[in-house]
A and B are shown apart, each in its own frame.
Chain A
Amino acid sequence: MLFIADRFKRTALEVQEYVRLVAAAFRASFSRPWYRYDIVEQFDAIGVQSLTVVLLTGFFTGAVLALQGGLTLDQFGARPVVGRLVSASMIKNLGPVLTGLMLCGRVGSGIAAELGSMVVTDQINALRALGTDPIRKLVVPRILAGILMAPVLTVVADFVGIVGGWIVARFQLQVPTGLYWSSILRGLYMQDVWMGLLKPFALGFVIVSVACHVGLRTTGGTQGVGKATTKAVVIGSVGVIAMDFFLTRIMISLWY
Protein backbone atom coordinates (compact mmCIF):
# COMPACT_ATOMS: atom_id res chain seq x y z
CA MET A 1 0.00 0.00 0.00
CA LEU A 2 2.86 2.30 0.99
CA PHE A 3 4.58 1.47 -2.28
CA ILE A 4 1.48 2.46 -4.27
CA ALA A 5 1.11 5.72 -2.32
CA ASP A 6 4.79 6.48 -2.87
CA ARG A 7 4.51 5.69 -6.58
CA PHE A 8 1.44 7.90 -6.89
CA LYS A 9 3.20 10.78 -5.13
CA ARG A 10 6.23 10.48 -7.42
CA THR A 11 4.02 10.43 -10.53
CA ALA A 12 2.11 13.49 -9.28
CA LEU A 13 5.42 15.27 -8.66
CA GLU A 14 6.65 14.44 -12.18
CA VAL A 15 3.42 15.78 -13.70
CA GLN A 16 3.69 18.93 -11.59
CA GLU A 17 7.31 19.49 -12.64
CA TYR A 18 6.43 18.84 -16.30
CA VAL A 19 3.64 21.43 -16.17
CA ARG A 20 5.99 23.90 -14.48
CA LEU A 21 8.63 23.37 -17.16
CA VAL A 22 6.10 23.85 -19.96
CA ALA A 23 4.71 27.00 -18.30
CA ALA A 24 8.23 28.41 -17.81
CA ALA A 25 9.13 27.60 -21.44
CA PHE A 26 5.92 29.28 -22.63
CA ARG A 27 6.69 32.43 -20.62
CA ALA A 28 10.30 32.42 -21.81
CA SER A 29 9.20 32.16 -25.46
CA PHE A 30 7.62 35.60 -25.25
CA SER A 31 10.29 37.53 -23.37
CA ARG A 32 13.96 38.37 -23.85
CA PRO A 33 16.64 37.11 -24.04
CA TRP A 34 16.17 34.83 -27.06
CA TYR A 35 19.08 32.65 -28.09
CA ARG A 36 18.68 32.96 -31.86
CA TYR A 37 21.75 30.90 -32.76
CA ASP A 38 20.50 28.00 -30.61
CA ILE A 39 17.06 28.21 -32.23
CA VAL A 40 18.56 27.97 -35.73
CA GLU A 41 20.84 25.14 -34.59
CA GLN A 42 17.88 23.18 -33.22
CA PHE A 43 15.85 23.68 -36.40
CA ASP A 44 18.75 22.05 -38.20
CA ALA A 45 19.26 19.27 -35.62
CA ILE A 46 15.58 18.39 -35.25
CA GLY A 47 14.36 19.20 -38.76
CA VAL A 48 17.03 18.89 -41.42
CA GLN A 49 18.95 16.06 -39.78
CA SER A 50 15.79 13.97 -39.31
CA LEU A 51 14.98 14.16 -43.00
CA THR A 52 16.66 10.89 -44.03
CA VAL A 53 14.91 8.73 -41.46
CA VAL A 54 11.56 10.37 -42.19
CA LEU A 55 12.00 9.95 -45.97
CA LEU A 56 12.82 6.26 -45.63
CA THR A 57 10.03 5.59 -43.13
CA GLY A 58 7.45 7.45 -45.18
CA PHE A 59 8.47 5.82 -48.45
CA PHE A 60 8.37 2.25 -47.20
CA THR A 61 5.17 2.78 -45.22
CA GLY A 62 3.39 4.08 -48.33
CA ALA A 63 4.78 1.21 -50.39
CA VAL A 64 3.69 -1.48 -47.94
CA LEU A 65 0.27 0.16 -47.58
CA ALA A 66 -0.24 -0.12 -51.32
CA LEU A 67 0.98 -3.71 -51.29
CA GLN A 68 -1.27 -4.85 -48.44
CA GLY A 69 -4.17 -2.60 -49.39
CA GLY A 70 -4.03 -3.85 -52.97
CA LEU A 71 -4.54 -7.45 -51.81
CA THR A 72 -7.55 -6.52 -49.67
CA LEU A 73 -9.07 -4.21 -52.29
CA ASP A 74 -8.78 -7.02 -54.88
CA GLN A 75 -11.35 -8.99 -52.88
CA PHE A 76 -13.87 -6.23 -53.66
CA GLY A 77 -12.60 -5.50 -57.15
CA ALA A 78 -11.49 -2.09 -55.96
CA ARG A 79 -7.80 -2.16 -56.86
CA PRO A 80 -7.99 1.14 -58.81
CA VAL A 81 -8.75 3.08 -55.59
CA VAL A 82 -5.53 1.97 -53.91
CA GLY A 83 -4.22 5.56 -54.23
CA ARG A 84 -7.14 6.80 -52.16
CA LEU A 85 -6.39 4.25 -49.45
CA VAL A 86 -2.70 5.13 -49.36
CA SER A 87 -3.23 8.89 -49.30
CA ALA A 88 -6.02 8.85 -46.73
CA SER A 89 -4.04 6.59 -44.40
CA MET A 90 -0.81 8.51 -44.81
CA ILE A 91 -2.18 12.03 -44.58
CA LYS A 92 -4.71 11.53 -41.81
CA ASN A 93 -2.87 9.21 -39.50
CA LEU A 94 0.22 7.27 -40.48
CA GLY A 95 2.21 10.28 -41.65
CA PRO A 96 1.87 12.25 -38.39
CA VAL A 97 2.17 9.20 -36.12
CA LEU A 98 5.13 7.56 -37.84
CA THR A 99 6.96 10.86 -38.17
CA GLY A 100 6.25 11.44 -34.48
CA LEU A 101 7.58 8.02 -33.53
CA MET A 102 10.69 8.48 -35.66
CA LEU A 103 11.29 11.89 -34.12
CA CYS A 104 10.80 10.38 -30.70
CA GLY A 105 13.44 7.73 -31.38
CA ARG A 106 15.94 10.08 -32.98
CA VAL A 107 15.31 13.49 -31.43
CA GLY A 108 13.66 12.62 -28.10
CA SER A 109 16.41 10.21 -27.13
CA GLY A 110 19.09 12.66 -28.24
CA ILE A 111 17.64 15.54 -26.26
CA ALA A 112 17.20 13.44 -23.11
CA ALA A 113 20.75 12.09 -23.37
CA GLU A 114 22.28 15.52 -24.06
CA LEU A 115 20.44 17.35 -21.29
CA GLY A 116 20.86 14.40 -18.93
CA SER A 117 24.64 14.42 -19.48
CA MET A 118 24.69 18.16 -18.90
CA VAL A 119 22.84 17.68 -15.61
CA VAL A 120 25.09 14.93 -14.25
CA THR A 121 28.28 16.77 -15.24
CA ASP A 122 27.05 20.01 -13.60
CA GLN A 123 26.93 21.86 -16.93
CA ILE A 124 23.36 22.97 -16.23
CA ASN A 125 24.46 24.38 -12.87
CA ALA A 126 27.42 26.00 -14.62
CA LEU A 127 25.01 27.66 -17.06
CA ARG A 128 22.93 28.99 -14.17
CA ALA A 129 26.02 30.16 -12.32
CA LEU A 130 27.05 32.05 -15.46
CA GLY A 131 23.71 33.85 -15.49
CA THR A 132 21.95 31.83 -18.19
CA ASP A 133 18.47 30.43 -17.71
CA PRO A 134 18.69 26.82 -18.98
CA ILE A 135 15.03 26.90 -19.99
CA ARG A 136 15.60 29.83 -22.32
CA LYS A 137 18.88 28.50 -23.66
CA LEU A 138 18.11 24.78 -23.97
CA VAL A 139 14.38 24.09 -23.71
CA VAL A 140 12.76 26.93 -25.68
CA PRO A 141 14.83 26.45 -28.89
CA ARG A 142 14.16 22.69 -28.84
CA ILE A 143 10.42 23.07 -28.24
CA LEU A 144 10.11 25.70 -30.97
CA ALA A 145 12.01 23.51 -33.40
CA GLY A 146 9.93 20.46 -32.43
CA ILE A 147 6.62 22.27 -32.88
CA LEU A 148 7.53 23.82 -36.22
CA MET A 149 9.61 21.09 -37.83
CA ALA A 150 7.30 18.13 -37.07
CA PRO A 151 4.60 19.38 -39.50
CA VAL A 152 7.20 20.02 -42.21
CA LEU A 153 8.62 16.52 -41.79
CA THR A 154 5.12 15.07 -41.77
CA VAL A 155 4.30 16.70 -45.11
CA VAL A 156 7.51 15.24 -46.52
CA ALA A 157 6.66 11.80 -45.11
CA ASP A 158 3.14 12.00 -46.55
CA PHE A 159 4.43 12.94 -49.99
CA VAL A 160 7.12 10.25 -50.24
CA GLY A 161 4.65 7.73 -48.79
CA ILE A 162 2.23 8.47 -51.59
CA VAL A 163 5.08 8.24 -54.09
CA GLY A 164 6.09 4.88 -52.55
CA GLY A 165 2.49 3.72 -52.93
CA TRP A 166 2.45 4.89 -56.53
CA ILE A 167 5.60 2.89 -57.38
CA VAL A 168 4.05 -0.28 -55.96
CA ALA A 169 0.66 0.47 -57.54
CA ARG A 170 2.21 1.13 -60.94
CA PHE A 171 4.77 -1.66 -61.17
CA GLN A 172 3.40 -4.37 -58.85
CA LEU A 173 -0.38 -3.88 -58.93
CA GLN A 174 -0.39 -2.60 -62.53
CA VAL A 175 -2.65 0.36 -61.64
CA PRO A 176 -2.26 3.12 -64.25
CA THR A 177 -0.53 6.26 -63.01
CA GLY A 178 -3.41 8.58 -63.96
CA LEU A 179 -5.91 6.41 -62.10
CA TYR A 180 -3.72 6.32 -58.99
CA TRP A 181 -3.32 10.09 -58.75
CA SER A 182 -6.89 10.92 -59.69
CA SER A 183 -8.20 8.55 -57.02
CA ILE A 184 -6.06 10.43 -54.51
CA LEU A 185 -7.48 13.80 -55.58
CA ARG A 186 -11.05 12.53 -55.62
CA GLY A 187 -10.80 10.83 -52.26
CA LEU A 188 -9.10 13.60 -50.35
CA TYR A 189 -11.07 16.25 -48.45
CA MET A 190 -9.82 19.48 -46.91
CA GLN A 191 -10.67 18.17 -43.43
CA ASP A 192 -8.24 15.29 -44.00
CA VAL A 193 -5.50 17.72 -44.93
CA TRP A 194 -6.18 19.89 -41.89
CA MET A 195 -6.18 16.85 -39.64
CA GLY A 196 -2.85 15.71 -41.02
CA LEU A 197 -1.34 19.17 -40.75
CA LEU A 198 -2.50 20.13 -37.27
CA LYS A 199 -1.69 16.91 -35.45
CA PRO A 200 2.10 17.16 -35.90
CA PHE A 201 2.24 20.53 -34.10
CA ALA A 202 0.93 18.85 -30.95
CA LEU A 203 2.98 15.69 -31.45
CA GLY A 204 6.21 17.66 -31.95
CA PHE A 205 5.50 19.58 -28.77
CA VAL A 206 4.84 16.40 -26.77
CA ILE A 207 7.99 14.62 -27.98
CA VAL A 208 10.37 17.50 -27.31
CA SER A 209 8.85 18.80 -24.07
CA VAL A 210 8.78 15.29 -22.56
CA ALA A 211 12.41 14.69 -23.62
CA CYS A 212 13.50 18.04 -22.13
CA HIS A 213 11.66 17.33 -18.88
CA VAL A 214 13.09 13.83 -18.54
CA GLY A 215 16.60 15.01 -19.46
CA LEU A 216 16.61 17.87 -16.97
CA ARG A 217 15.38 15.57 -14.17
CA THR A 218 18.18 13.05 -14.70
CA THR A 219 19.90 11.74 -11.58
CA GLY A 220 22.37 8.95 -10.96
CA GLY A 221 25.36 9.58 -13.22
CA THR A 222 25.87 7.89 -16.56
CA GLN A 223 23.49 5.08 -15.64
CA GLY A 224 20.86 7.72 -15.01
CA VAL A 225 21.47 9.19 -18.46
CA GLY A 226 20.76 5.78 -20.03
CA LYS A 227 17.57 5.42 -18.01
CA ALA A 228 16.47 8.96 -18.90
CA THR A 229 16.99 8.24 -22.61
CA THR A 230 14.87 5.09 -22.45
CA LYS A 231 12.22 6.88 -20.41
CA ALA A 232 12.03 9.77 -22.89
CA VAL A 233 11.50 7.39 -25.82
CA VAL A 234 8.92 5.25 -24.00
CA ILE A 235 6.88 8.17 -22.60
CA GLY A 236 7.23 10.12 -25.84
CA SER A 237 6.08 7.19 -28.02
CA VAL A 238 3.09 6.42 -25.82
CA GLY A 239 2.36 10.15 -25.69
CA VAL A 240 2.40 10.36 -29.50
CA ILE A 241 -0.03 7.48 -29.93
CA ALA A 242 -2.34 8.62 -27.10
CA MET A 243 -2.29 12.23 -28.29
CA ASP A 244 -3.04 11.06 -31.83
CA PHE A 245 -6.11 9.21 -30.59
CA PHE A 246 -7.49 12.13 -28.60
CA LEU A 247 -6.79 14.66 -31.36
CA THR A 248 -8.42 12.41 -33.95
CA ARG A 249 -11.47 12.03 -31.73
CA ILE A 250 -11.77 15.80 -31.26
CA MET A 251 -11.22 16.59 -34.94
CA ILE A 252 -13.74 13.98 -36.10
CA SER A 253 -16.38 15.40 -33.77
CA LEU A 254 -15.62 18.92 -35.01
CA TRP A 255 -15.29 18.42 -38.77
CA TYR A 256 -16.98 15.20 -39.87
Chain B
Amino acid sequence: MVQTAASTTTELQAQRDAQEPVVTFEHVQLAFDDKVVLKDISFSLLSGHTKIILGASGSGKSITLKIIAGLLRADAGAITVNGQRVDQLAERELMSVRADLGMIFQEGALFDSLTVRENVGYKLYEETDMPIEEVDRRVEEILGFIGISEHIDKMPSELSGGQRRRVAIARAMAFRPSILLYDEATTGLDPITATTVDDEIIKLRDIEHVTSLLVTHQLRDAFYVATHMGSRSANGDVDIVPATPEKERETEFIMLRDGLICFEGDADALRRSTDPYIRTFLS
Protein backbone atom coordinates (compact mmCIF):
# COMPACT_ATOMS: atom_id res chain seq x y z
CA MET B 1 0.00 0.00 0.00
CA VAL B 2 2.77 2.35 1.02
CA GLN B 3 4.74 1.27 -2.03
CA THR B 4 1.80 2.00 -4.34
CA ALA B 5 1.38 5.45 -2.84
CA ALA B 6 5.11 6.13 -3.25
CA SER B 7 5.14 5.03 -6.89
CA THR B 8 2.05 7.15 -7.60
CA THR B 9 3.77 10.15 -6.04
CA THR B 10 6.87 9.51 -8.16
CA GLU B 11 4.77 9.26 -11.31
CA LEU B 12 2.97 12.47 -10.46
CA GLN B 13 6.31 14.16 -9.81
CA ALA B 14 7.59 12.90 -13.16
CA GLN B 15 4.47 14.23 -14.88
CA ARG B 16 4.87 17.59 -13.15
CA ASP B 17 8.57 17.66 -14.14
CA ALA B 18 7.59 16.92 -17.71
CA GLN B 19 5.41 20.03 -17.69
CA GLU B 20 8.17 22.19 -16.18
CA PRO B 21 10.12 24.16 -18.77
CA VAL B 22 13.81 23.28 -18.60
CA VAL B 23 14.81 26.09 -20.93
CA THR B 24 13.10 29.47 -21.12
CA PHE B 25 13.83 32.50 -23.25
CA GLU B 26 12.07 35.71 -22.25
CA HIS B 27 12.30 38.78 -24.46
CA VAL B 28 15.88 38.07 -25.41
CA GLN B 29 17.68 40.64 -27.51
CA LEU B 30 21.14 40.62 -29.07
CA ALA B 31 22.92 42.90 -31.52
CA PHE B 32 26.46 43.00 -32.88
CA ASP B 33 27.27 46.69 -33.34
CA ASP B 34 24.48 47.95 -35.64
CA LYS B 35 23.29 44.50 -36.71
CA VAL B 36 20.34 43.33 -34.64
CA VAL B 37 20.30 39.52 -34.58
CA LEU B 38 17.60 38.81 -32.00
CA LYS B 39 14.97 41.52 -31.49
CA ASP B 40 12.57 39.94 -29.04
CA ILE B 41 12.64 36.17 -28.70
CA SER B 42 10.57 34.28 -26.14
CA PHE B 43 9.92 30.56 -25.94
CA SER B 44 10.12 27.69 -23.51
CA LEU B 45 11.09 24.04 -23.81
CA LEU B 46 9.45 21.40 -21.64
CA SER B 47 11.36 18.50 -20.16
CA GLY B 48 11.55 15.55 -22.55
CA HIS B 49 10.20 17.61 -25.45
CA THR B 50 11.93 18.72 -28.63
CA LYS B 51 12.09 22.15 -30.15
CA ILE B 52 13.32 22.65 -33.69
CA ILE B 53 14.51 26.13 -34.62
CA LEU B 54 14.29 26.88 -38.32
CA GLY B 55 15.35 29.96 -40.20
CA ALA B 56 17.48 31.31 -43.00
CA SER B 57 21.24 31.66 -42.65
CA GLY B 58 22.11 34.53 -40.30
CA SER B 59 18.70 34.53 -38.63
CA GLY B 60 20.24 33.88 -35.21
CA LYS B 61 19.56 30.14 -34.81
CA SER B 62 23.06 29.10 -33.72
CA ILE B 63 23.38 32.22 -31.59
CA THR B 64 20.24 31.18 -29.71
CA LEU B 65 21.92 27.89 -28.77
CA LYS B 66 25.13 29.64 -27.74
CA ILE B 67 23.14 31.98 -25.50
CA ILE B 68 21.46 29.00 -23.82
CA ALA B 69 24.84 27.36 -23.17
CA GLY B 70 26.20 30.66 -21.84
CA LEU B 71 28.79 30.86 -24.61
CA LEU B 72 27.38 34.24 -25.66
CA ARG B 73 25.76 36.94 -23.55
CA ALA B 74 22.43 38.44 -24.59
CA ASP B 75 22.04 42.23 -24.45
CA ALA B 76 18.68 41.96 -22.70
CA GLY B 77 16.11 39.41 -21.58
CA ALA B 78 16.07 36.46 -19.22
CA ILE B 79 17.35 32.97 -20.04
CA THR B 80 16.88 30.09 -17.64
CA VAL B 81 18.22 26.53 -17.87
CA ASN B 82 16.94 24.10 -15.25
CA GLY B 83 15.73 27.10 -13.26
CA GLN B 84 19.10 28.90 -13.24
CA ARG B 85 19.42 32.37 -14.79
CA VAL B 86 22.18 31.78 -17.33
CA ASP B 87 22.32 35.46 -18.22
CA GLN B 88 23.25 36.40 -14.64
CA LEU B 89 25.89 33.75 -13.96
CA ALA B 90 29.65 34.25 -14.14
CA GLU B 91 31.70 31.91 -16.35
CA ARG B 92 32.76 29.82 -13.33
CA GLU B 93 29.12 29.46 -12.14
CA LEU B 94 28.03 28.46 -15.63
CA MET B 95 29.97 25.21 -15.27
CA SER B 96 27.19 23.81 -13.06
CA VAL B 97 24.59 24.66 -15.73
CA ARG B 98 26.74 23.07 -18.43
CA ALA B 99 27.03 19.89 -16.35
CA ASP B 100 23.49 19.06 -17.47
CA LEU B 101 23.79 20.47 -20.97
CA GLY B 102 25.42 18.90 -24.01
CA MET B 103 26.06 20.76 -27.23
CA ILE B 104 26.78 19.44 -30.69
CA PHE B 105 28.49 22.06 -32.83
CA GLN B 106 28.42 22.60 -36.57
CA GLU B 107 31.06 20.32 -38.16
CA GLY B 108 31.40 18.52 -34.80
CA ALA B 109 34.17 20.70 -33.29
CA LEU B 110 36.09 17.57 -32.27
CA PHE B 111 39.51 18.13 -30.68
CA ASP B 112 41.99 17.45 -33.51
CA SER B 113 44.79 16.22 -31.28
CA LEU B 114 42.69 13.65 -29.40
CA THR B 115 41.45 10.23 -30.49
CA VAL B 116 37.75 9.39 -30.70
CA ARG B 117 37.99 7.71 -27.28
CA GLU B 118 39.64 10.79 -25.74
CA ASN B 119 37.17 13.14 -27.43
CA VAL B 120 34.13 11.21 -26.24
CA GLY B 121 35.45 10.75 -22.71
CA TYR B 122 36.98 14.23 -22.55
CA LYS B 123 34.75 15.64 -19.83
CA LEU B 124 34.87 12.48 -17.75
CA TYR B 125 38.66 12.14 -18.05
CA GLU B 126 39.46 15.80 -17.44
CA GLU B 127 36.70 17.26 -15.33
CA THR B 128 35.57 14.44 -13.05
CA ASP B 129 37.17 12.07 -10.56
CA MET B 130 35.65 9.02 -12.26
CA PRO B 131 38.16 6.12 -12.42
CA ILE B 132 39.75 5.64 -15.84
CA GLU B 133 38.32 2.11 -16.22
CA GLU B 134 34.83 3.41 -15.59
CA VAL B 135 35.30 6.25 -18.09
CA ASP B 136 36.55 3.76 -20.67
CA ARG B 137 33.48 1.58 -20.06
CA ARG B 138 31.16 4.60 -20.46
CA VAL B 139 32.93 5.67 -23.67
CA GLU B 140 32.61 2.16 -25.12
CA GLU B 141 28.97 2.01 -24.06
CA ILE B 142 28.02 5.32 -25.68
CA LEU B 143 29.99 4.57 -28.86
CA GLY B 144 28.19 1.23 -29.03
CA PHE B 145 24.84 2.98 -28.59
CA ILE B 146 25.71 5.43 -31.39
CA GLY B 147 27.06 2.53 -33.47
CA ILE B 148 30.65 3.64 -34.12
CA SER B 149 32.62 1.44 -31.72
CA GLU B 150 35.03 0.37 -34.45
CA HIS B 151 36.41 3.93 -34.74
CA ILE B 152 37.32 4.29 -31.06
CA ASP B 153 41.07 4.63 -31.59
CA LYS B 154 40.96 6.74 -34.74
CA MET B 155 41.83 10.42 -34.94
CA PRO B 156 39.06 12.84 -36.01
CA SER B 157 40.87 13.51 -39.30
CA GLU B 158 40.39 9.83 -40.23
CA LEU B 159 36.58 10.04 -39.93
CA SER B 160 33.96 10.95 -42.50
CA GLY B 161 31.64 13.92 -41.97
CA GLY B 162 28.81 11.76 -40.68
CA GLN B 163 31.08 9.83 -38.33
CA ARG B 164 32.44 13.09 -36.93
CA ARG B 165 28.91 14.32 -36.16
CA ARG B 166 28.08 11.04 -34.44
CA VAL B 167 31.26 11.21 -32.38
CA ALA B 168 30.27 14.79 -31.45
CA ILE B 169 26.86 13.49 -30.32
CA ALA B 170 28.58 10.74 -28.31
CA ARG B 171 30.88 13.32 -26.70
CA ALA B 172 27.93 15.50 -25.74
CA MET B 173 26.09 12.48 -24.33
CA ALA B 174 28.94 10.80 -22.47
CA PHE B 175 28.30 12.61 -19.19
CA ARG B 176 24.54 11.96 -19.40
CA PRO B 177 23.16 15.52 -19.69
CA SER B 178 19.39 15.87 -19.71
CA ILE B 179 19.39 18.60 -22.37
CA LEU B 180 21.10 18.42 -25.76
CA LEU B 181 21.58 21.34 -28.13
CA TYR B 182 22.18 20.38 -31.76
CA ASP B 183 23.66 23.09 -33.96
CA GLU B 184 23.16 22.10 -37.62
CA ALA B 185 23.98 18.49 -36.81
CA THR B 186 23.15 17.29 -40.34
CA THR B 187 24.21 20.23 -42.49
CA GLY B 188 26.54 19.22 -45.28
CA LEU B 189 25.80 15.51 -45.01
CA ASP B 190 24.28 13.36 -47.73
CA PRO B 191 20.66 12.27 -47.06
CA ILE B 192 21.58 8.72 -46.02
CA THR B 193 24.24 9.82 -43.53
CA ALA B 194 21.97 12.63 -42.32
CA THR B 195 19.29 10.03 -41.57
CA THR B 196 21.71 8.02 -39.42
CA VAL B 197 22.43 11.19 -37.42
CA ASP B 198 18.68 11.92 -37.19
CA ASP B 199 18.14 8.38 -35.89
CA GLU B 200 20.69 9.02 -33.12
CA ILE B 201 18.85 12.22 -32.17
CA ILE B 202 15.56 10.30 -32.01
CA LYS B 203 17.11 7.45 -30.03
CA LEU B 204 18.60 9.79 -27.46
CA ARG B 205 15.30 11.65 -27.13
CA ASP B 206 13.05 8.62 -26.82
CA ILE B 207 15.29 6.01 -25.20
CA GLU B 208 17.51 8.22 -23.02
CA HIS B 209 14.71 10.81 -22.49
CA VAL B 210 16.89 13.75 -23.42
CA THR B 211 15.28 17.15 -23.93
CA SER B 212 16.42 18.34 -27.35
CA LEU B 213 16.80 21.69 -29.04
CA LEU B 214 17.68 21.41 -32.71
CA VAL B 215 18.83 24.18 -34.99
CA THR B 216 18.70 23.42 -38.66
CA HIS B 217 17.64 24.64 -42.07
CA GLN B 218 17.39 21.09 -43.38
CA LEU B 219 13.60 20.68 -43.49
CA ARG B 220 13.80 17.02 -44.40
CA ASP B 221 15.74 16.23 -41.22
CA ALA B 222 13.55 18.49 -39.08
CA PHE B 223 10.35 16.75 -40.20
CA TYR B 224 11.97 13.32 -39.92
CA VAL B 225 12.89 13.95 -36.27
CA ALA B 226 9.44 15.39 -35.56
CA THR B 227 7.47 12.59 -37.17
CA HIS B 228 9.45 9.55 -36.00
CA MET B 229 10.07 7.96 -32.65
CA GLY B 230 12.39 5.34 -31.22
CA SER B 231 11.11 2.24 -29.49
CA ARG B 232 12.84 -0.80 -28.11
CA SER B 233 11.97 -4.05 -29.79
CA ALA B 234 11.70 -7.38 -27.98
CA ASN B 235 15.36 -8.24 -28.74
CA GLY B 236 16.55 -4.97 -27.19
CA ASP B 237 17.32 -3.17 -30.45
CA VAL B 238 15.97 0.32 -31.02
CA ASP B 239 13.61 0.66 -33.97
CA ILE B 240 12.77 3.99 -35.56
CA VAL B 241 9.05 4.03 -36.36
CA PRO B 242 6.50 6.69 -37.33
CA ALA B 243 5.56 8.74 -34.25
CA THR B 244 2.19 8.52 -32.58
CA PRO B 245 0.10 11.75 -32.69
CA GLU B 246 0.89 12.32 -28.97
CA LYS B 247 4.62 11.93 -29.60
CA GLU B 248 4.44 14.25 -32.63
CA ARG B 249 2.91 16.94 -30.44
CA GLU B 250 5.98 16.81 -28.18
CA THR B 251 8.04 18.32 -30.98
CA GLU B 252 7.51 21.98 -31.76
CA PHE B 253 8.91 24.14 -34.51
CA ILE B 254 10.04 27.75 -34.21
CA MET B 255 10.85 29.83 -37.25
CA LEU B 256 13.08 32.88 -36.88
CA ARG B 257 12.84 35.82 -39.23
CA ASP B 258 14.32 39.31 -38.85
CA GLY B 259 15.15 38.66 -35.20
CA LEU B 260 11.61 37.61 -34.30
CA ILE B 261 9.68 34.35 -34.09
CA CYS B 262 7.40 34.26 -37.12
CA PHE B 263 5.99 30.78 -36.43
CA GLU B 264 5.61 28.48 -33.44
CA GLY B 265 3.73 25.19 -33.57
CA ASP B 266 3.91 21.48 -34.35
CA ALA B 267 4.81 19.80 -37.64
CA ASP B 268 1.19 19.67 -38.75
CA ALA B 269 0.62 23.38 -38.10
CA LEU B 270 3.84 24.20 -39.96
CA ARG B 271 2.74 22.18 -42.98
CA ARG B 272 -0.67 23.91 -42.98
CA SER B 273 0.71 27.44 -42.54
CA THR B 274 -0.37 29.91 -45.22
CA ASP B 275 2.27 32.51 -44.35
CA PRO B 276 3.99 33.35 -47.66
CA TYR B 277 7.49 33.37 -46.09
CA ILE B 278 6.96 29.95 -44.52
CA ARG B 279 5.46 28.61 -47.74
CA THR B 280 8.58 29.80 -49.60
CA PHE B 281 10.79 28.23 -46.94
CA LEU B 282 8.93 24.92 -47.16
CA SER B 283 8.81 24.79 -50.93
Contacts and interface: CB of A to CB of B under 8 A. Distances in A.
Contacts of B92: 133
B109 interface: yes
A129 B126 contact: no
Contact of B91 (A123, A130, A133): A133
B122 interface: yes
Given A128-B71, A130-B123, A132-B127, A122 B105 contact: yes
Contacts of A132: 123, 126-127
A129 B101 contact: yes
Contacts of A137: 126
A128 B109 CA distance: 12
A126 B109 CA distance: 7
Interface in A87-126: 117, 121-123, 125-126
A211 to B, nearest CB: 17
Contact of A123 (B69, B70, B111, B172): B111
A131 interface: yes
B103 A126 contact: yes
A74 to B, nearest CB: 54
Interface in B90-116: 91-92, 95, 98-99, 101-103, 105-107, 109-112
A245 interface: no
A115 B103 CA distance: 20
A133 B127 CA distance: 10
Interface string A129-142: 11111000100000
Contacts of B71: 125, 128-129
B99 A122 contact: no
A123 B123 contact: no
Given A130-B98, A131-B95, A131-B98, A125 B66 contact: yes
A131 to B, nearest CB: 5
Contact of A121 (B69, B70, B95, B109): B109
Contact of B112 (A123, A131, A133): A123
A121 B112 CA distance: 10
A122 B123 contact: no
A127 B119 CA distance: 11
* B interface: dominant SS: mixed
Interface string A28-47: 00000101000000000000
Given A130-B122, A131-B127, A122 B106 contact: yes
B45 to A, nearest CB: 17
Contact of B98 (A33, A117, A129): A129
B37 to A, nearest CB: 16
Interface string B168-207: 0001100000000000000000000000000000000000
Nearest to B174: A130
Contacts of A35: 126
A225 to B, nearest CB: 13
B127 A125 contact: no
Nearest to A135: B91
A131 B105 CA distance: 15
A7 to B, nearest CB: 16
Nearest to B122: A130
Contacts of A122: 105-107, 109
B105 A126 contact: yes
A210 to B, nearest CB: 22
Contact of B99 (A125, A126, A131): A131
A125 B107 CA distance: 13
A132 B127 CA distance: 7
Contacts of A117: 112
Q: Name the residue among A33, A125, A126 with the largest chain B CB count within 10 angstroms.
A: A126
Contacts of A33: 127
Contacts of A128: 69-71, 91, 98
Contact of A125 (B91, B95, B105, B126): B105
Q: Name the residue among B99, B102, B105, B107 with the largest chain A CB count within 10 angstroms.
A: B105
Contacts of B103: 125-126, 129
Contacts of B126: 35, 132, 137
Interface of A: 33, 35, 117, 121-123, 125-133, 137
8 contacts: A126-B103, A129-B71, A129-B103, A130-B127, A132-B123, A132-B126, A133-B91, A133-B92
Interface of B: 66, 69-71, 91-92, 95, 98-99, 101-103, 105-107, 109-112, 122-123, 126-127, 171-172
Given A123-B111, A127-B111, A128-B69, 19 more contacts: A33-B127, A35-B126, A122-B106, A123-B112, A125-B66, A125-B71, A126-B103, A128-B70, A128-B71, A128-B98, A129-B69, A129-B101, A129-B102, A130-B171, A131-B98, A132-B123, A132-B127, A133-B95, A137-B126
Closest CB pairs A-B (n = 3): A122-B109, A126-B109, A129-B103
